[in-house]
Structure 1
Amino acid sequence: MRYDWFYRSGYGPPQKGEHSNIRRDVIAASAVREKDRYVGVVLGFNTKILEEAQKESQERNVKIINDRIIYNLVRSYTDWIKFQKEHEDSILFNELAPVCKFQFLKGFIFRRNDPAVFGAEVLVGKLRQKVRVINDGGKKIGVIHQVQENGKSIEEATKGMQIAVSIRGPVIGRQINEGDVFYTDLNSKEAKMLLERFKVRLNPEEEDVFGKILLLKRNEDAAFGYL
């Protein structure tokens, strides 16, 4: 099998499996996988995959792609890479603090401090537990302790949802008040990743809010989001 195409496309070469000894190729690919998981793959062109090779691939977590038609083999490999990278990106993106804007609803004070609990509406983006919060002046307010809907804790609240929020840190009537608007607080590394890699995942409203957060943070640190 020739691998010129993989070189031109920046993918290759993967570990080949042209002959019957796929198990040996799996072992070789597992070593390559430690350096580059997208290259540590076995491609079998019209090859019979024996049970011992399948078992070896499962134990070593090595992908085997086999097909009788070379075009399908190449397409399956590139499709697999695309899926893996998209999945990897989704996991990484979801680990970042979400871009969110929410508002303290007037008339919905449930507890003034330790933690402060109040009604809120998500105006843009998603609000999750354990994220840091700043006000519309960029001042740090605290950390979201819990988000509840109809008395039940939820992992995430989305745009338009009216929920109960508890925040550790502020006292209602001092640091925060009814009607206040808040934003999720990103750190510089998270902002940099959003700018360079994940901005395409934000919708237009989230992009605007992200821009507002950047402005607030850069008022304090001009290098925010660059380093």
Structure 2
Amino acid sequence: MLERKEYATILAFDVKVTPEARELADETGVKIFITDIIYHLFDQFKAYIDNLKEEKKKEATKDAVFPCVLKIMLNCIFNKKDPIVLGVDVLEGIAKVGTPICIPSRDFIDIGRIASIEINHKQVDIEKKGQKVAIKIASTNVEEQQKMYGRKFEIDDELVSHISRKSIDPLKSNYRDDLFIEEWKLVVKLKTLFKIQ
């Protein structure tokens, strides 16, 4: 079970663990839970598993890209060049800070990553379908020419999260329960759009 850290455990209920056994467990990376009350044993193990899941999510955050489709709102272009600041309507999915944004209608041109999201003058990290928010999109590549609103894209262009196979896999393995069915359907729709196998 050492291959999967969460299962490399020993649950010791109402027994003593010898110092030799504890030392061997520490050397091999096995976690031992000891208690005289069965419910406490369950609670300790569950807290351990939950903590491991959170650690995996944090590690996957940089690679996982949440699906979203954004519509630029009329008269809500606050800054046309890097960083681009726009008012958008979240048409589908989840807008999340760090999401790479591209424009499929313009040959999938990348315009940067969402650097911040603001709703009612308050910073948030994530917003879902149906919300109208202001987003700041910062360029990710300094050497590349800046993508400017009015030149590279217009108000009718939809902004879409730029997903890839590399971003879908950590999303599936770490955020499966955090996305609703309609958001997974959007992932499938975007896979077709980006021709991802």
Q: How many residues align?
A: 181
1:203 to 158, 180, 183: 180
SS in 1 for 2:188: helix
* Aligned-residue CA RMSD (Å): 3.4
1:129 maps to 97
Once the two structures are TM-superposed, the CA of residue 191 in structure 1 deviates from its matched residue by 1.7
Distance in 1, Cα, partners of 2:120 & 2:99: 21
**Counterpart for residue 50 of structure 2:** 83
Residue in structure 1 matched with residue 148 of structure 2 by the alignment: 171
CA gap 1:166/1:85 in 2 versus in 1, 3 angstroms: closer
What is the CA-CA distance between 1:214 and the residue it aligns to?
0.9
Q: How far apart in 2 are the matches of 1:197 and 1:150?
A: 30
Q: Which residue of 2 aligns with 1:29?
A: 25
Alpha-carbon distance between aligned partners in 1 of 2:186 and 2:71, rounded to the nearest angstrom = 13
What amino acid does structure 1 have at the position aligned with 2:26? Answer: S
- Please say which structure displays the higher CA radius of gyration: 1
- Consecutive unaligned residues of structure 2, counting only runs of 5 or more, are 1-6, 140-145
C-alpha distance in 1 between matches for 2:46 and 2:86: 47
> Does 1:98 find its partner at 2:92?
no
- Structure 1 unmatched runs, 5+: 1-10, 34-39, 43-63, 219-223
Larger displacement relative to structure 2 (192-201 or 124-133)? 192-201
Specify the alignment match of 1:183 in structure 2.
Answer: 160
Mapping for residues 1-227 of structure 1, pairs under 5 Å: 11=7, 14=10, 18-19=15-16, 21=18, 23-33=19-29, 40-42=30-32, 64-67=33-36, 75=42, 79=46, 82-84=49-51, 86-92=53-59, 94-95=61-62, 96-137=64-105, 139-143=108-112, 144-167=114-137, 168=139, 169-194=146-171, 198-199=175-176, 201-218=178-195, 224=196
Q: How far off its partner does 1:157 sit? A: 2.6
How far is the alpha carbon of 1:97 from its aligned partner? Answer: 1.9
TM-score by length of 2: 0.71
Structure with more of its chain in strand, by fraction: 2
Q: Distance in 1 between matches of 2:122 and 2:178?
A: 29
Query: Structure 1 vs Structure 2: percent identity of aligned residues?
Result: 18
Q: Deviations over 1:61-96 (max 9, x none)?
A: xxx322266xx6875676456535543454455442
Contact residue 57 and residue 174 of structure 2 kept, 8 A: no
Tell me, in whole angstroms, the C-alpha distance in 2 between the residues paired with 1:145 and 1:80.
32
- Contact kept? 2:8, 2:31, Cα under 8 Å: no
